Amino acid sequence: MLQPISGYHRDDENHWVAQLACGHNQHVRHDPPWQNRLWVTTAEGRARMLGHKLDCRKCDEGAPVDERPDEQPREDC
């Protein structure tokens, strides 16, 4: 299910994680040649991708929403 990016945070290993509007999180690593996401390496690139839709497999599976730094857990999507 396609869900728009609504924000970002870093995980415990300092990797960027997209926060999706559905309440799920998804890593957005720039790790060539496997993942080519140069946009995630700059604040401008990340800002430009806000609203861009990513395929959320957690929604497809009916998974509960993810916890996010400094946020209270939300209802399931």
pLDDT (tens place) for every residue of the chain, 77 residues total: 999 999 999 999 999 999 999 999 999 999 888 889 999 999 999 999 999 999 999 999 999 999 988 654 444 44
Contact partners, residue 19, CB within 8 Å, separation at least 6: 5, 6, 7, 8, 9, 25, 68
Let me know if residue 27 belongs to a domain: yes
Residue 22 in any domain: the answer is yes
The verdict on residue 37 lying in a domain is yes
Residue 66 placed within a domain: no
Q: Residue 38 is part of which domain span?
A: 2-61
